[in-house]
């Protein structure tokens, strides 16, 4: 019997898996406990940020006023928002450091398992649209991360860069102002406010449509994919959703 954890570790670390040599377990660990904790922190802080920040986007409408009262009034909501924001930033930093640690331990970038966008992803988008529209009968075959996952993942990086930095600046304006170049003062301040507000809206809309659909509403996933808690997917699921990764681990005939 092969411990599922070991396989997952091999899935990330080992450059060449013995194709077709391994017995296929029932479940495979997709995300280890550290990734799962990072995701839970991200999830909780994201919701808190969205909830406490939302009223500021459209303060003049009546629902915003009662909504912010639910969160303890504008002052308390502000404290929750800043605390959640800092926690999320810390979570993100932890994630990046952890990735660095994994690389140091020998994690390699390979086309089938990487989260980094590659040309194949663009081809997959086109293939998938063609499949949706019925033009093609063939679904694109994904590796460990499909372009859908990659989009979801890098959106967080984009969000952390844009919303995280502007949010930090807005939360600690006096401290942050010392890093502003003098020549940029005229536009940097208004830009920070615009960026934070517009990109936050983008993030919420994105999560609502992209992440919610893909992880909650997709056929067979409702009410949600439980991988975020268990970290595991079934071998069958993997075979269907991540055929290239499956083949890399167990070989084409693996069953």
Partner 1 sequence: MRRVLSFTPVCLLVPLLVLLWASAARASGDCLICHSAMHGAVKDAKGETVQVHLDAEAFTKSVHGSLECTNCHMSFTSGPHKPPEGGTTPEVAALLPYTRLKAKVDPVALAACSQCHPGIYKEVRESIHGEGIFKKKQSDPPLCLDCHGNPHYIVAKTDPKSPVNFANVLETCGRCHNNEEVAKKYGMSGHVIEKYKESFHGKKYILGDKKVPICNTCHGAHMIMAVAAPGSPVMGQAKLATCGRCHKGATEKFVAAPVHKYIGKENPIPFYGEKLLILLVFGVFGFTVSHVILESWAEIRDNIFRKSGKGGPHD
Euclidean distance between CA atoms 142 and 113, whole angstroms:
9
For partner 1, which is the closer residue by CB, 120 or 221?
A: 221
Q: Rank residues 15 and 75 by Cβ distance to partner 1 and give the closer one.
A: 75
Contact mark string toward partner 1, 230..249, x via CB under 8 A: ---------xx--x------
First-last CA distance in the chain: 15
Is residue 94 near partner 1 by the rule CB under 8 A?
A: no
Which residues contact residue 15 at a Cβ distance below 8 angstroms, ignoring those fewer than 6 apart? 108, 110
**Angle 4-13/243-250 helices, nearest 10 degrees?**
100
For 27, the enclosing helix (H) or strand (E) is strand 27-29
DSSP assignments along 92-125, one per residue: HHHHHHHHHHHHHTT----TTT--S--HHHHHHH
Choosing from 7, 195, 233, 249, the residue that interacts with partner 1 (CB under 8 A) is 195
Q: Is 60 in the site for partner 1 (CB under 8 A)?
A: yes
- Distance in angstroms (rounded) separating the CA atoms of residues 192 and 163: 9
Q: Considering the complex, state which of residue 41 and residue 247 has its C-beta at the smaller distance from partner 1.
A: 247
Check binding of 126 to partner 1 (CB under 8 A): no
- Comparing CB distances to partner 1, the nearer of 103 and 175 is 175
Judged by CB under 8 A, which of 189, 244, 251, 254 binds partner 1? 189
Residues 7-26 that bind partner 1 (CB under 8 A): none
- Give the one residue of 75, 135, 183, 253 binding partner 1; rule: CB under 8 A: 75
Task: Identify whether the C-beta of residue 32 lies closer than 8 Å to the C-beta of residue 8.
Answer: yes
Q: Which is nearer to partner 1, 91 or 152 (CB)?
A: 152
Listed in sequence order, the DSSP H helices in 117-184 are 119-132, 147-159, 165-171, 173-177
Give 15: exposed, middle or buried? Use CB within 10 Å, 0-12, 13-18, 19+: exposed
Smallest gap from residue 157 Cβ to partner 1 (A): 14
Q: How far is the CB of 49 from partner 1 (least distance, A)?
A: 16
Contact pick of 73, 100, 106, 161 for partner 1 (by CB under 8 A): 73
Q: Which stretch binds partner 1 (CB under 8 A): 3-11, 28-36, 60-68, 247-255?
A: 60-68
Separation CA 254–CA 23 (nearest Å): 8
Distance (Å, whole) CA 127 – CA 138 = 8
List of residues contacting partner 1 (CB under 8 A): 55-56, 59-60, 64-65, 68-69, 73-75, 78, 128-129, 131-134, 137-139, 141, 170, 173-174, 177-178, 180, 182, 185-187, 189-191, 193-195, 198-199, 201-202, 205-206, 209-210, 213, 217-219, 239-240, 243
């Amino acid at each position: 019997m092969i411990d599922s954890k070991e396989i997952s570790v091999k899935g990330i670390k080992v450059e060449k898996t013995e194709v077709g040599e391994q017995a296929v377990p029932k479940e495979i660990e997709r995300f280890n406990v550290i990734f799962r904790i990072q995701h839970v922190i991200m999830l909780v802080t994201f919701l808190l940020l969205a909830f406490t920040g939302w009223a500021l986007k459209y303060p003049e409408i009546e629902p915003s006023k009662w909504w912010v009262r639910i969160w303890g009034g504008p002052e308390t909501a502000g404290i929750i928002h800043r605390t959640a924001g800092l926690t999320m930033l810390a979570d993100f930093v932890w994630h990046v450091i952890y990735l660095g640690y994994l690389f140091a331990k020998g994690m390699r970038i390979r086309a089938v398992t990487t989260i980094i966008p590659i040309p194949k992803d663009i081809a997959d988008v086109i293939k998938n649209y063609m499949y949706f529209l019925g033009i093609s009968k063939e679904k694109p075959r994904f590796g460990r991360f499909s372009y859908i996952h990659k989009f979801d993942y890098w959106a967080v990086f984009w969000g952390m860069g844009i919303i995280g930095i502007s949010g930090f600046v807005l939360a600690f304006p006096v401290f942050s102002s010392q890093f502003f170049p003098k020549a940029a003062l005229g536009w940097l301040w208004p830009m920070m406010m615009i960026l934070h507000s517009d990109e936050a809206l983008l993030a919420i809309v994105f999560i609502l449509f992209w992440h919610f659909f893909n992880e909650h509403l997709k056929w067979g996933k409702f009410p949600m994919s439980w991988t975020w808690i268990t970290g595991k997917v079934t071998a069958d699921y993997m075979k269907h959703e991540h055929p290239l990764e499956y083949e890399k681990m167990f070989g084409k005939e693996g069953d």
